[in-house]
Structure 1
Amino acid sequence: MTTKTYPVTWDLDTFFEGGSSSDELRRHLDEAAGLVQDYSAQTAGFRTPESKTDAAQVAELIDKTKETSNHLREAGAVIGCFLAQDTTDKQALLLQGESSALGAKFQTAFMSFQQKLAKTEETVWNELLSDDRLKDFAFILGEWREKSAARLSEAEEALITALSVDGYHGWGELYDLLVGEIEVTVTVDGEERKLSVGQANNLSSHPDADVRRESFEKLEAAWAEKEEFFAKTLNSIAGFRLQVYEKRGWDNVLREPLEYNRMKQETLDAMWGAISANKEPFARYLDRKARLLGKEKLDWQDVDAPVTESVKTIDYQEGAEFILDHFGKFGPELESFSRMAFENGWIEAEDRPNKRPGGFCTGMPQSEESRIFMTYSGSMSNVATLAHELGHAFHSYALRPVHPLNRMYAMNVAETASTFAEMIVADAAVKEAQTDEEKLALLEDKIQRSVAFFMNIHARFLFETRFYEERKKGIVSSDRLNELMEEAQREAFAGALGETHPHFWASKLHFYITGVPFYNFPYTFGYLFSLSIYAKALEEGEAFEEKYMALLRDTAVMPVEELAEKHLGEDITKQEFWEKGVRLCIRDVEEFLALTDQEG
C-alpha cells in the first residue's frame, strides 16, 4: 500500500522562479553573455604554451572554461525543460535561440583554446601534463589535442560554429516546432481524445487492437501530410554535417559518432555482428506474439501490444515505490538518491497535452541537480522508462566528486547507467509476478526491450548509414526515405514484420538531434554493456554498488575499451563479449516460448 504521495510535475522554480518570463533567468543569461565575452577575450590573448611555466595560464583557462560552460549549460537545460513541458511556450523558444547563440560564441572561443593547446610542442606538452595543476586532466587535454589536430584551422572552425546556429541547429529546432504542432484525434474507451504525439505514441501498448491501429494510422497520416517539411529538414541537417566532414577530409560518416562515444570501429562491428548472428530467436518470439494476437505477421503498431487479457495498470505512486524498493536491494546510494528525486519534484510525469514526446534526463551543472521528463500513463513500460531516466540522474550524482571537466561522459556509457537501472526494475517485476499470466506480461515487456535494442535500433542504424551514403550524392526524396526505412525495418526485424512504419524517419526525434550524430547505436551498446555489469551485481549484491560508482566515475576519462578492461576484465572488440549478453536475452525468449506453449 502506497503511503507517500510524490509530485507528478517537476519543480523548475528552484532554478529560476517565474518560468520562461523569469527575471532571475534574464539576469542569468545577461551574466552568461558577460562571461562569454570575458572568456573570448582571454582565449584570444592565449598563446601556445612554450614551457612548463605556462601551466598556470592553462589551469586558469580551464577554470574559466568550467565556469562559463556550467553557466551556459544551466540556462540551456532549464530552457529545454520549459519547452518540453509546454511546446507552445513562445518565450522559451526565443530564449532557446538566445542561449544557442551564446553557446556558439563560447564554442568558438573554446575551440580557439583547444587549437592553440594542440600546437604545443611534444616535449613542452609532456611537461605541462606533469604539473600538479594539470595532471588530473591528462586524458581530456589529450583528447582535445587529438580532435583539434583532425579539424580545420581555427578561423574555419569558428565560421562553421557561427553558421551552425541558424543553419545546422536551426533545422533541428524547426523539427521540434513542427512536431509540437501535431495533434491527432483517437477514440479511446469510447471517447474521442485529442492527443499530442507523445500521448498518441503511448497507445502503442494499449490492449485494444483498434485503438492501436487508429493511433498508428492517424500518426502515420500526420507524418505523411508534413513529409516534405521533414524530408527538407533531415536533408538539410545531413547536408550541413556532410559538408563539414568533406572540408575536414573525413570520408567515414561514423568517424564523428565513434570519436564522440570514445569507441573503436572494431567494437561497433563486434556488437552488431553478435546481434545479427542471433536474430532468429527474436524473430521466433515475434512470430509467436503474432499468433497470440490472432495474426499471421506482427504489424508495426502491435510490436508493443500486450499479449495477455488483463494488463496491470500501475499508478505513478505505486510505480515510484516499486522502483525505490528494488533500487534499495541493489544498494543504499541508488535508493536514497532516487527517493530524494521523487520527493523534491525532480520528475515531470503528468499525462497532459502540449508536452513533447519521449523522455529524457537533463543535468543542471551549477545546481548539481537533474530533471527527468516523461509522460506516465500507467504501463510497466512507463515504470521501466522512469527507472531508466533515474539511472541517468544517478550517473550525474556519482560524478559529483569529480572535476566538471572530467564529467563529460559519452552517450554510450550514459545509456549503460540508465539501462542498468531499468534492468533492476524489469528483472524484479518478472520475479515477483503472482500468476503465470502476470509473469508472461512482464517477461514480454522485458523482451520488448531486447527487440527495441537489437531490431528497432538496428533498423535506425541501417537506415541512417544508408541515408548518409545516398545524401552524399544529393537530396534524398521523401519517397526514397520511406523506401530506405522500410528496407531497414524488414532487414533488422529478420522478416518478422507484416506492416512496417515507412515514416519512422519523420517521427523519430533522434534523427534530428544535431548535438549528437547517430543517436542510435549507443543505446544498444549501453544495453549489452550493462548486462555484464548487472551479472556482476547479482553475484556480489549490495557490496557491488561501490565498485559500480567507481566505474561510473571513470566513464569520462578513458575509452570504453579501457573502461571494460579495467572494471570488467573484458575485451569488447571481440564478438564473444557481446554474444554473452545476447544469450542472456535469448533465455527470456525461451522462457516466453515455453510459457506460451503451456498456454496452448
Structure 2
Amino acid sequence: MGYDIKDLLWNTAPLYTGPESPDLEGDFEAAATGANGFRERYRGRVAGLDVVELQKALVEYEELEELIVKPQLYAHLLFAADSENDVNKRLSQKAAEFGNLMSRELLFFDLEIIQMEDKAFAQLIGDERLANYRHYMESLRKFHPHTLTEREESLLKQKSLTGTEAFSRLFDEVSASFRYTMTLDGEEREFTGEELLGLLHHTDAMVREQAFATFLKRHEEQGIIFSSVFNTVALDHGQDLELRNYKSPMEPTNLGNEIPAEVVERMMSVSEANYPLAQEYFRLKAKLLNLDKLKNTDVYAPVGEIEQHYTFAEARDLVIAAYDRFSPEFRDIAAAFFKDGRIDALPRIGKSGGAFCMGMTPRLAPYVLLNFTGNLRDVATVAHELGHGIHFTLAQRQTMVNYHAPLPLAETASVFGEMLLTRHMLEGETDKQVKIALLCAKIEDIIATTFRQNVLTRFEERMHLERKKGLLTATQLCDLWWEENARLYGDSVEMIEAYRWGWSYISHFIHTRFYCYSYTFAELLVLSLYQRYLKEGDAFIPTYREILAGGGSKSPADTVRPAGIDLADPDFWQNGYDVLTGLLEELKQLV
C-alpha cells in the first residue's frame, strides 16, 4: 500500500475537531474552574491531611492535570505542524499562558508536600494506601533545599512567559520560518532545513558540503538572534541556580533524573576516553569512500555507489516487521500509529524540524512528528520515534504523576527500536555491500547517540559556566562549539568552516537543560539490554516490557535493576563501548 499526501499528515480530530471547537474552549474553562476549586479545598491544608484525604487529593490532582494538559498538547501539535498559521500561533500562545496560569494555581500542592515535617511525611509515605504515589512524593522532597516560597515560585513562573519561554518561542518560529535556496542537479530549488540535512546522505561529496554550508550560513545570517537567545537562556539558568542554591549547571537536571552527579561525570569521562573508537571508524570510512580524510559533511555519506532511498510505505513495512520479530504486541502498537493517522511525516516550510513523539496522558494516544526524506537514517528515525510511542503506550497503565519516564530512561525504547531494525535488515540481507552499508549506518548512529551527544553536553556545560563570567559573543559560542567537536574528531575529520555555527540549531539547548546526556545514557543502557536479549531470547521480553510499562513510577536505577543492571558499576559504561568495538571489528572483517 502506498501513501498520498494526506496519509503523511496526522489527524488530530480525535483530540478536538479543530482550533475553534467548542469542546476545546470548554476544556479550557473546565480546567480553570477545576484548578480554582482544588486550590480552595486544599491550599494550606495538605500537611494536615490524613492518608485517606491525601490519597483523594492526589487522585483529584491527577485528573485535573490530565484535563489541563490536553488543550495544551493539542495546541503544541498544531503549532509544530505549521508555526506560520496565525490561528495556530494564537492558540499556541493562549495555551502557553493558560498552562503557566494553571501551574501557578496548583503550585501550592507540590510545595506543601515538599515542606512537610519529616516525621509526618515518613508516616504518610510508609502507608501502603499511598504506595502508588510514594516515588512521586519522595522525588518532590529531593528539591526541598532548592525550593522557594509559593509567592516567589509563582512570580518566577509568571515572569518566565516574557522571559525564557518567549525566547524559546522566538527560537522555534525563526528556525521554522527559514527558507533555503540551493542549486541541485543544475536547478535552483527551495528547500526546508530538514531536506538540506537529508542531503548529508547524498552520494556526491560536493552536494553534501554545499547543503550543510547553506543550512548553517542561513543560521549565521541570524546570528544576532541566536546568540541573544542562547545568552538569555544561559543567564536565566545561572540566576535560577543562584536563587535556588545549586552548585553546578547540571545539578537540577541530575536531581530531577535521580542520577548522582558522579555517575553522569563517569559516563561522560568514559565516553571521552573512547573517542579514539570514533576516530578509528572515521579513518576506515574515509578509505571506504576513497578519500584521504573525511570532512564532517562526509560522516553520514552512503557507502557504495548507490544512494539508498525508501518510500514511506517501505519504511513503515520495515519498521513494523522489525518490531513483529521481537513481539506481536509491539508490532500492533507501532502499526496503530499508521492506522490511526497519528504520524505527520511530510517536510514543509513552517513545520518544526527534527522528530518527536508526544506522549499525551494515560488516557490519550501519543502522536509522532517526522520529517521523512527517504534515506536510511529517516527509516531508523521512524523506528526510533515509534519506540517512544510503544513506551508511552505501555506506560498508560500508570496514573498521571507516574506516566512519563525520567529523562535517562526516556530514550531507552527508541534506541532499542533502532537496534531491532538494524538486526532485522542485516539478517534479511545477502548482499555484502549492503551489509557493510547497514553496519556503517548502525555504527554512525551509535557514534551520534553517544559521542556526539557527549560533545553537545560538554558544550552546553561550558556555555553555562562561561556565561557566568559575562556575555558570550557569537564568536565565543562558535569557538566553544569548535573546541568540543575537535576533541571528538581529532585529526580524523576536517570540519568545514560553516560548522562553527553548528550549535545554533540544536533545540535541546533551548527547551530542556542538559537533555542530551540522556541519549548517551540510553544508548549505552540499550547496548547492555540488547546483549541480554541476544543471550536470553524471548525470556527477556517480559523483563524489558516491565521496564517500559513502569513509566516514571521508580527511579532509573530501580527500574533497570530487574534486568541485572547496576548503574553504579564503574564498568557499566565501558561495556557499551565494548559492543561498539565488536561492531567495528565485524565491519573490518566484511571490508
Q: Paired residue for 1:83? A: 79
What do the CA deviations read for 1:47-97 (whole angstroms, capped 9, x no partner)? 2424xx622332232123212221232222221111121121222222222
The equivalent of 2:16 in structure 1 is 16
Instruction: Sort the Cα spacing of 1:311 and 1:575 in 2 relative to 1 into closer, same or farther, 3 A.
Output: farther
Matched, 1:382 2:381: no
**Correspondence for 1:505 among 503, 506, 519:** 503
Classify the secondary structure of the residue corresponding to 1:302: coil
| Matching of residue 581 in structure 1 with residue 576 in structure 2 | yes
Conserved in 2, the CA contact under 8 Å of 1:199 and 1:353? Answer: no
Residue 227 of structure 2 corresponds to 231
| Partner residue, 1:428 | 424
Shift of 1:366: 6.2
Q: Distance in 2 between matches of 1:266 and 1:549?
A: 29
Provide the rounded CA distance (Å) in 2 between the counterparts of 1:33 and 1:92. 21
Q: Confirm whether residue 156 of structure 1 aligns to residue 152 of structure 2.
A: yes
User: Residue 142 of structure 1 is aligned with which of 122, 138, 143?
Assistant: 138
Q: What is the match of residue 395 of structure 1?
A: 391
Q: Distance in 1 between matches of 2:203 and 2:77?
A: 31
Counterpart residue type for residue 562 of structure 1: D
Q: TM-score, normalised by structure 1?
A: 0.94
Does 1:346 pair with 2:355?
A: no
C-alpha distance in 2 between matches for 1:250 and 1:518: 15
Three-state SS of the structure 1 residue aligned to 2:568 is coil
Kindly indicate whether the alpha-carbon contact (under 8 Å) linking 2:65 and 2:400 is maintained by their aligned counterparts in 1: no
Residue deviations 1:502-547 (CA, integer Å, cap 9, x gap): 111111111111xx21121001111111111112222233333222
- SS of the residue corresponding to residue 249 of structure 2 reads coil
Report the AA paired with residue 508 of structure 1. Answer: I
Aligned-partner Cα distance in 1 for 2:3–2:505? 37
Q: Does the 8 A contact of 2:459 with 2:481 survive in 1?
A: yes
Preserved CA contact (<8 Å) 1:198 1:375? yes
Alignment partner, residue 197 of structure 1:
193
What 5-or-longer segments of structure 1 have no aligned partner?
A: none
Gaps of 5+ in 2: none
SS in 1 for 2:93: helix
Give, in whole Å, the separation in 1 of the partners of 2:357 and 2:483.
Answer: 32
Name the CA distance, whole Å, in 1 between partners of 2:538 and 2:397.
21
1:466 is matched with: 462
Counterpart in 1 of 2:40?
41
Match of 1:26 in 2: 25
CA distance in 2, matches of 1:539, 1:4: 38
Contact 2:323–2:331 (CA<8 Å) still a contact in 1? Answer: yes
Q: Indicate the residue corresponding to 1:254 in structure 2.
A: 250
**Pairwise CA distance, 1:555:** 4.4
- The structural deviation recorded for 1:163 is 1.0
Q: CA deviation at 1:184?
A: 0.5
Q: Per the alignment, do residues 367 and 125 of structure 1 end up closer, same or farther by CA in structure 2, a change over 3 Å counting?
A: closer
What does the per-residue CA deviation read over 1:30-58, in whole Å, with 9 as the maximum and x for residues that have no partner?
Answer: 333323333333443x32424xx622332
Q: In 1, Cα distance between the equivalents of 2:28 and 2:183?
A: 44
The one-character-per-residue Cα deviations of 1:314-366 (angstroms, maximum 9, x if unpaired) are 21111111111121111111011111121111111123333221000002216
Structure 1 position 579, deviation (Å): 1.1
* 1:416–1:527 CA contact under 8 A, matched in 2: yes
**Regions of 4+ moved over 4 Å:** 2-6
- Structure 1 residues 589 and 153, CA gap change in structure 2 (3 angstroms): same
Aligned match of 2:328: 332
Specify whether residues 325 and 106 from structure 1 end up closer, same or farther in structure 2 by C-alpha distance, changes over 3 A only: same
TM-score by length of 2: 0.95
User: Does the C-alpha gap of structure 1 residues 366 and 455 become closer, same or farther in structure 2, counting only changes over 3 Å?
Assistant: closer
**Matched residues in 2 for 1:149 and 1:103: separation?**
26
Distance (whole Å) between structure 2 residues aligned to residue 474 and residue 266 of structure 1: 28
Q: What is residue 537 of structure 2 aligned with on the other side?
A: 541
Give SS of 2:79's match: helix
Determine the structure 2 residue equivalent to 1:595.
590
Alignment of 1:358-373 (within 5 A): 358-365=354-361, 367-373=363-369
Conserved 8 A contact 1:300-1:498: yes
Structure 1 residue matching 2:411: 3-state secondary structure: helix
Pair 1:478-2:477 in alignment:
no
Q: Secondary structure at the match of 1:364?
A: coil
User: Given that residues 273 and 575 in structure 1 are in contact (C-alpha distance below 8 angstroms), is that contact kept between their aligned partners in structure 2?
Assistant: no
Identity of aligned residues (%): 25
- Partner SS, residue 286 of structure 1: helix
What is the deviation of 1:187? 2.5
- Taking a change above 3 Å as real, the CA distance of residues 239 and 39 of structure 1, as seen in their structure-2 partners, is farther
Give the Cα–Cα distance (whole angstroms) in 1 for the partners of residues 260 and 299 of structure 2: 32
Contact 1:164 1:170 in 2 (8 A): yes
Deviation string, structure 1 residues 285-328 (Cα, Å, up to 9, x no partner): 11222233343332222211112111221211111111111211
Give the match for residue 68 of structure 1: 64
CA distance, structure 1, for counterparts of residue 207 and residue 528 of structure 2 = 38
Corresponding pairs, count: 588
The answer on whether the counterparts of 1:28 and 1:75 sit within 8 Å (CA) in structure 2 is yes
Aligned positions of 1:205-244 closer than 5 A = 205-244=201-240
Q: Cα gap change, 1:188/1:28 in structure 2, threshold over 3 Å: closer, same or farther?
A: farther
One-letter identity of the residue aligned with 1:221: K
- Whether the 8 Å CA contact 2:411–2:519 is kept in 1: the answer is yes
1:437 to 1:68, Cα distance in 2 relative to 1, 3 A: same
Q: Partners of 1:577 and 1:455 in 2: how far apart? A: 16
Q: Distance in 1 between matches of 2:228 and 2:62?
A: 37
| Corresponding residue number in structure 1 for 2:563 | 568
RMSD value, Cα: 2.0
- What does residue range 304-319 of structure 1 map to in structure 2 within 5 Å? 304-319=300-315
Secondary structure of the residue aligned to 1:372 is strand
> Could you say what secondary structure the match of 2:581 adopts?
helix
Give the whole-Å Cα distance in 1 for the aligned partners of 2:324 and 2:180. 40
Which whole-Å deviations, capped at 9, do the CAs of 1:129-168 have from their partners, x for residues lacking one?
2445422211111111222343122221111111112211
- Amino acid paired to 2:295: D
The answer to whether the 8 Å contact 2:395/2:551 transfers is no
Contact 2:451 2:520 in 1 (8 A): no
